[in-house]
Structure 1
Amino acid sequence: MPDVHFIADDGTETVLDVYPGNNLMMAAVFDGIRQIEGICGGCLSCATCHVYVDEAWLGRLPPPSSDELRMLDEVAAERRPNSRLSCQIEMREDLAGIVVRMPDRQS
């Protein structure tokens, strides 16, 4: 099963195995990663699952939709060029080892 490396703003790393087809937000919420709130449950309406995707992985992801780009305008922490909503990142086998960093706040 492919793994995801979630890195908190204090540097703490949590590695989770995520079934292909599941999104990163759901994996984080179900495993109790508190830095990912996911208040809307992955409906692309709250921006509380904001992450910074490691630069090495950005090119492997599909580009953000126009809806995701609009929601990224609403994030609580600094928006960066590598900002994504983890509810919009669907796990695939070729993403095994992906690294995402969590901002210091979601709301």
Structure 2
Amino acid sequence: MPKITYVQQDGVAVTADALPLMTLMETALMGGVDGIVGTCGGICSCATCHVWVDGEWADRLAPPGAEEADMIEGLAHRRPESRLGCQVPVNEALDGLVVRVPPAE
């Protein structure tokens, strides 16, 4: 079971276990991560699951699709490592992934 570490806005790290077929957003919600809301339920329409992927992990993820890229483009706190957690499925290869929760939009 992959473990994902979320560094919350206050700097506190929370590590959560991801079940098969879960996304970064779902894992954060199940793990009680502050700052990840997932208002739209994972349909890529609200960006309340915005995270910054730590640099060493960015190349291990598939690039964002067009819809996700468009949503990220409109974010005030976007960075090159920005992703929407609802669009990133977790698998065993991501065990140990570290993401940061940016300030609320």
TM range (shorter): over 0.9
RMSD (Å), alpha carbons: 1.1
- Structure 2: distance between partners of 1:17 and 1:61: 18
* Aligned 1:38-57 pairs, distance under 5 A: 38-57=38-57
How much has 1:30 moved relative to structure 2? 2.6
CA contact under 8 A between 1:47 and 1:74: conserved in structure 2?
Answer: no
Find the aligned partners of 2:30 and 2:64 in 1 and give their Cα distance.
24
What is residue 101 of structure 1 aligned with on the other side? 100
CA distance in 1, matches of 2:83, 2:102: 11
Number of corresponding residues: 105
Deviation at 1:17, TM superposition (A): 0.7
* Residue segments in structure 2 that go unaligned for 5+ positions in a row: none
Which 4+ stretches in 1 moved above 2 angstroms? none
The SS at the match of 2:67 is: helix
TM-score (norm 2): 0.94
1:38-58: CA deviation from partner (whole Å, max 9, x where unpaired): 100000011110000000000
Question: What is the correspondence of 1:3-22 to structure 2 with a 5 Å cutoff?
Answer: 3-22=3-22
The TM-score normalised by the length of structure 1 is 0.92
Q: How far apart in 2 are the matches of 1:95 and 1:59?
A: 11
- Identity, % of aligned positions: 45
Give ranges in structure 1 of 5+ residues lacking alignment: none
Contact 2:8 2:33 survives alignment (8 Å): no
